[in-house]
Chain A
Amino acid sequence: MTRRPYFISMPVDVAVMGGVSIALYVILWLINANARTSTVISLGAALVWIINYPHFSATSYRLYRSQDNIRQYPLTAYAVPVLLVAGAVLSLQSPTVIAPFFVKFFQIWSPYHFSGQTFGIGMLYARRAGISLRPLERTCLRWFIFSTYVSLIATIETGQRQYQFFGVTYPALGIPLVISQLALVAMYALGIAVLALFVLTPLTRGRQVAWMTLLLALTQFVWFGLGQRLPSFAEFIPAFHSLQYLLVAWSVHLKERLDEERQAGSMAFVSAESGYWLLANTLGGFMLFWGLPHVATRVGGYDINLTTAVFFSAIQIHHFFVDGVIWKLKNPRVLSPLLVNIDDLLRSKPSQLATATAVAPGAALR
């Protein structure tokens, strides 16, 4: 296999992993599109069906389509869904006491999950480029990325505000302003440290710069550090996060399918399997995010807004659990396809695919 840092190509990977996010932010900032207009809301609502929901479905699909995965992670596969269904039922039964905090729990967990993915994919690109990050660089990158999370939550949760999610109202924690300000200072300080370690040091020592890793970190900063001040942009952040995920998950799926089928890479296989995978996950997303709330409303007679809020929260919390394990497959028989690229998928012979993409078990997105 040719070692290339990109899943598809530099322009496509750069666009998906952050280029489009950053470009949109700059455009919206330049035209001062501060308002969350009806156009923005409509576009955001359309994207969820083709990007956001399929990305959740892709996670479940990856876990549940393989008996090996289920056996390896039985708690994630069985116990967590049972617990979350119990949480959902409790929330539906208690819309003013349990439901607000079920929703809130998911709301403050979600950006943490985004941060984990940013770090994981950033590390993955460094690995793909053959760059070995030193512990200090890893730690600094991790702390910077998670500092954007802390800063975001500290800002959102400052003061005595109320938020709504499909009609379910939940309060801000009321974090003191000083924590928010300290978090902001820490984020910028760590950002400067990351720039020094990832750009200045390699350039002065003639080493390769992990540009894609930096792009992921910068994108995270734009999402959480800058984007929250621009509501028209913030609407699209989940879609951008999902898009990153879909590119990696799609690539991994194709590689696994090629290995399972012991086929050579070809355009016909990639096209057919991609079409099937996209269709399955679009339908899966529809069933999860439209089907479950509507079934609960139909069966239990609950308000559709309440069931939507509760099941959206439950599905996403499940996603956080599943995502935390499926990218850390430790089964030695499973050769990780995380280093594969489109040329390998299109042209490699079965033996090349099976042997050349071996990654240390546990090579992880997170």
Chain B
Amino acid sequence: MPPRDLTILVGVMVLLGLVIWGTAGRWSARAIGGLGLLVALVGSFYLYIVLAPASPTSVLVASGLFVGSALLFRLLSTFEQ
């Protein structure tokens, strides 16, 4: 697996984390919460790419990705609320 692609994803997460750190106290809680969800989204996508190839042979990974996705979508329905 080419590490460059995944490194960029981690970089985006770090960047978003820094934005949250830099804007904490200046932006509304709603905006900070929204940024937090974006970090979770990018992180979930990263996990998806890393774990999905193993999921057909691992019940635990497959179930985890399935349940995790549904929970993530539920969380994202509160985005910027």
**In the assembly, what is the distance between CA of A328 and CA of B79, in Å?**
11
**In the assembly, what is the distance between CA of A175 and CA of B42, in Å?**
23
**In the assembly, what is the distance between CA of A113 and CA of B70, in Å?**
11
Task: Give residues of chain A (256-314) contacting chain B, Cβ–Cβ below 8 Å.
Answer: none
Q: Which of B8, B45, B66, B73 meets A175, CB within 8 Å?
A: B66
Q: Main SS of chain A's interface residues?
A: helix
A173 B66 Cβ-Cβ under 8 A: yes
Q: Which B residues touch A153, using CB under 8 A?
A: 66, 70
Question: A173-B55, A173-B66 given as contacts; is B76 within 8 A of A94 (CB)?
Answer: no
Task: Give residues of chain A (37-82) contacting chain B, Cβ–Cβ below 8 Å.
Answer: 73-76, 79-80
Q: Which A residues touch B63, using CB under 8 A?
A: 175-176, 179
B12 A173 Cβ-Cβ under 8 A: no
B53 A325 Cβ-Cβ under 8 A: no
B49 A97 Cβ-Cβ under 8 A: yes
Most chain A CB within 10 A, of B31, B42, B56, is at: B56
B62 A175 Cβ-Cβ under 8 A: yes
Encode A98-136 as 1/0 by CB contact (under 8 A) with B.
100110110011001100100000000000000000000
**Number of residues in A with C-beta < 8 Å to the partner?**
43
Does B10 sit at the interface, judged by CB under 8 A? no
Nearest CB in chain B to that of A170: its residue = B52
Question: A160-B56, A174-B62 given as contacts; is B80 within 8 A of A75 (CB)?
Answer: yes
**In the assembly, what is the distance between CA of A366 and CA of B51, in Å?**
31
**In the assembly, what is the distance between CA of A98 and CA of B48, in Å?**
10
Question: A109-B73, A112-B70, A174-B57 given as contacts; is B42 within 8 A of A97 (CB)?
Answer: no
A90 B8 Cβ-Cβ under 8 A: yes
Q: Which A residues touch B1, using CB under 8 A?
A: 97
Encode B53-81 as 1/0 by CB contact (under 8 A) with A.
10111110011011001100100110111
B59 A176 Cβ-Cβ under 8 A: yes
**In the assembly, what is the distance between CA of A148 and CA of B40, in Å?**
25
Q: Which A residues touch B48, using CB under 8 A?
A: 101, 104-105
Q: Which A residues touch B34, using CB under 8 A?
A: 75, 79
CB distance from B76 to the nearest CB of A (A): 7
**In the assembly, what is the distance between CA of A157 and CA of B73, in Å?**
17
Encode B1-39 as 1/0 by CB contact (under 8 A) with A.
110010011001000000000000000000100110010
